[in-house]
Amino acid sequence: MDLRYTEAEEAFRHELRAWLGTVLRDVPPEPPRDDWAGRRAWDTAWQRTLYDAGYAGINWPAEYGGRGATPTEHLVFLEETERARAPYVGMNFVGLLHAGPTLIVEASDHQKAHHLPGILRGEHVWCQGFSEPGAGSDLASLRCRAVRDGDDYVISGQKIWTSFAHVADYCELLVRTDPDVPKHRGITWLVLPMDADGIDIRPLRTMEGSTEFCEMFLDEVRVPVANRVGAENDGWRVAMTTLSFERGTAFVSEMLQTMELCGDLAALARTITRGSATAWDDAGLRRDLGRLAAELDALWALTKRNISEATRAGLVGAGGNVFKLAYTDLRHRLGEVALHLLDRAALSIDDVGELPTGRHVQGRIHGLSMTIAAGTTQVQKNIVAERLLGLPKEPPAGGR
């Protein structure tokens, strides 16, 4: 039980830090939030830069062009890129962290050779077509239908929460190929080229005012059977392989940003006046922030436990669900302390004059999505209770 990094890990950090120091000087400023073409170019250019330096696909196996880094090196990579304020994974997210890893495990050699290099080099942006308006927490009830017609599947249906669909090249798509069997057994995983005919994409404006999410409507879209990954009707299992790639690093960048946010909030409280004192003179506020800081430190330690477990056992156990439940709940409470502190300055999503309040308001709004995205807190708690504590499943709806 040792939190110290080894010499090799520190050497990796040192080399990476030196490289970031030189390369970041040439990275242009980040494009505006809703300039999707500009953001695509910016995100993929950074991916290309990583590729040229041998840092692309940091956690991918070397035989598929990745760096084959250990989970701890991946942690160091995220620590250092965050520290240096390097571009975030951005639109490369689905390709690098979802579709790519799935292809590595499940795709044919031809499919791998066709798709993996494009992801690593930042040539192809991927999006994810899993959720549907009627299939959220109960994803396996998805209805987007694919019917075999010769060498093609003909697909009709609707997908939602498809981030970056309007600028993506490919979509990892889950479709219903057999409606007459239990829901998990009639699903197929396909690679959908986003330039196929019959795809209509409409931006979905979030409560943050951003449009990175889309709705995707498919009307008799033809996809070659050769684009299928895994067997027909085996798509649920294929989709779940992504989970086995998680090494405890999923929230590292987020966590580092949140720790900074917490420190910034304390600094802000020292400058905000309340009557004849500052907000920081309020022991209640200090206690709340002290607790949140403690919680963040504890979650940082939990992150390292999860990464250590992944290093030893190959995957993260209970700690992954525990982390998500605790971290996303904390984000609500941190956000509420922030809004309470800002008082009427919270009535603007952007900074008010000289006051650096915007990031706290934006952070609070973002926090509202976090207990929903990637498995709601309520579903996660069921999983924790049933799988980790061994509690009995609830009887199925209908009384049986």
Partner 1 sequence: MDFWLTEDHEALRDGTRAMLADRFALDDLAALEPSGRPIHAERWLTLAGTGVFSLRTDGLGTREAVIVYEELGRHLVPGPVVGTHLASGLVEGASSGEAIVGVLEPGAEVTIVEHATQVTHLLWFRGDQLVLVDAHRLDVEALPRPLDALSPTARCLTPLDGVGQVIEQGAAVVELRRVGVVLTAALQLGVALGALELATAYAKEREQFGRPIGSFQAVKHLLADMLVAAEVARSAVYAAACALDGAGDGRDAGRAASTAKVMAGHAALLNGRTGIQVHGGMGFTWEVHAQRFWKRAVVLDASFGSSDDHALAIAGAL
Query: Residue numbers of the site for partner 1 (CB under 8 A)?
Result: 1-6, 9, 72, 75, 262-263, 266, 283, 286-291, 293-295, 297-299, 301-302, 304-305, 307-309, 311-312, 318-319, 322, 325-326, 378, 380-382, 384-386, 388-395
H or E stretch at 263: helix 252-271
The yes-or-no answer on residue 295 being catalytic is no
CB of 400 to partner 1, least distance (A): 12
Q: Which is nearer to partner 1, 14 or 202 (CB)?
A: 14
Pairing of strands 152-160, 213-224: antiparallel
User: C-alpha angle with apex 142: 110 to 60, nearest 5 degrees?
Assistant: 35
Q: Which is nearer to partner 1, 35 or 297 (CB)?
A: 297
H or E stretch at 246: none
Q: Which is nearer to partner 1, 113 or 385 (CB)?
A: 385
The alpha carbon dihedral of 339, 341, 347, 353 has a sign of negative
H or E stretch at 187: strand 187-193
Pairing of strands 273-274, 228-229: unpaired
Of 339, 359, 340, nearest to 349 (Cα)?
359
Of 156, 240, 230, 224, nearest to 189 (Cα)?
230
CB of 153 to partner 1, least distance (A): 37
CB of 68 to partner 1, least distance (A): 18
Residue whose tokens read 């795809």: 199
Q: Which is nearer to partner 1, 231 or 301 (CB)?
A: 301
Of 101, 93, 98, 102, nearest to 122 (Cα)?
93
CB of 375 to partner 1, least distance (A): 13
Q: Which is nearer to partner 1, 344 or 393 (CB)?
A: 393
Burial of residue 289, with CB atoms counted within 10 A of its CB: 0-12 exposed, 13-18 middle, 19 or more buried: buried
The span from the CA of 321 to the CA of 316, in Å, is 9
Residue whose tokens read 């943050």: 208
Residue 306 gets which letter from DSSP? H
Q: Which is nearer to partner 1, 211 or 377 (CB)?
A: 377
DSSP 65-113: TS----HHHHHHHHHHHHHTTPPP-GGGHIIIIIIHHHHHHHS-HHHHH
**Assigned token pair, 372:** 């929903």
Catalytic residue among 246, 254, 295, 394: 246
Residue 355 gets which letter from DSSP? B
Q: Which is nearer to partner 1, 225 or 318 (CB)?
A: 318
CB of 212 to partner 1, least distance (A): 29
Residue 306 half-sphere exposure toward CB, CA atoms < 13 A: 25
Count of other CB atoms within 10 angstroms of residue 45: 14
**Assigned token pair, 383:** 């999983």
CB of 294 to partner 1, least distance (A): 4
Q: Which is nearer to partner 1, 72 or 227 (CB)?
A: 72
User: C-alpha angle with apex 101: 97 to 107, nearest 5 degrees?
Assistant: 145
Count of other CB atoms within 10 angstroms of residue 376: 14
CA 181, chain centre distance (Å): 31
CB of 81 to partner 1, least distance (A): 18
Tell me the catalytic residues.
Answer: 246
